[in-house]
Amino acid sequence: MTTELIDTAQSITGHRFSDAQLLIRAFTHASVAGSRQESNERMEFLGDSVLGLVCCEMIYSIYPDLLEGEMTKIKSTVVSRQTCATIARELGLHKLLILGKGMLSQRELPQSLAAATVESIIAALYLDAGIDPVRIFLRPLLEPMIRRAAASGHQENFKSVLQQHAQLTFGESPVYTVLDEKGPDHAKCFEICVEIGDRRFPACWGQSKKQAEQQAALLALSELGLVDQTGDSIRMMKAAQAIDPCP
């Protein structure tokens, strides 16, 4: 079992450990350890901080124009128990846990236990060889989550940013107008445009009024020169950044 655990963990992380005992400790739950100091709890503590560091490095590098508040929002979304549990289950790390009989009798492991395996394996990597293998292990896992979190955060704020900009610059509030709708009642799509004063911006379709309004706000921000869109990337320009969308 021990040899199988070590081989599987090394295959998952892509790192050959100099000290294989670190892997045993990383998967030893308190329910089977001789003492809590011999379990993976201390490694969870360390791994949580190392995970946060790597995530912050990536956000800082991927989005050089984001402000502190926006970066903090992305980090809080990505570095969470739910995210760690999802990663653990996708990689199969939770299956490597060494548990006491009482824990083994449970039909499904608590999310916190699955999440702990990610934090403890990160600590094992860090203690064995420093930060570089941690970066190599985490980057392909975290980057899609970071980009999704960043995109989601922007979408929630498009209307807010446009509202503040319109009021400060034009003394007007944006008005969202439904131009058309189609589809059955349970799956309607809406075409919506936004107007500020006597200026109408390009319309767009959405699968709900809320979605269409957000996208209409994005089009207006783009036409006003406050947003730069390149492929899937959305970058707030300086004029928009001056209006804090996260008060």
What positions carry a catalytic annotation?
48, 119
**150-173 burial, b if ≥16 CB within 10 A, otherwise e?**
beebbbebbbebbbbbbeeeeeee
What gap in Å lies between CA 2 and CA 20, rounded to an integer?
10
- Tell me the C-alpha to C-alpha distance, in Å, between residue 126 and each of 41, 46, 106: 15, 9, 31
End-to-end Cα, the chain, rounded Å = 52
Amino acid at 45: F
* Secondary structure (3-state) at 247: coil
Mutual angle of helices 41-62 and 111-129, in 10-degree steps:
80
246 DSSP 8-state letter: -
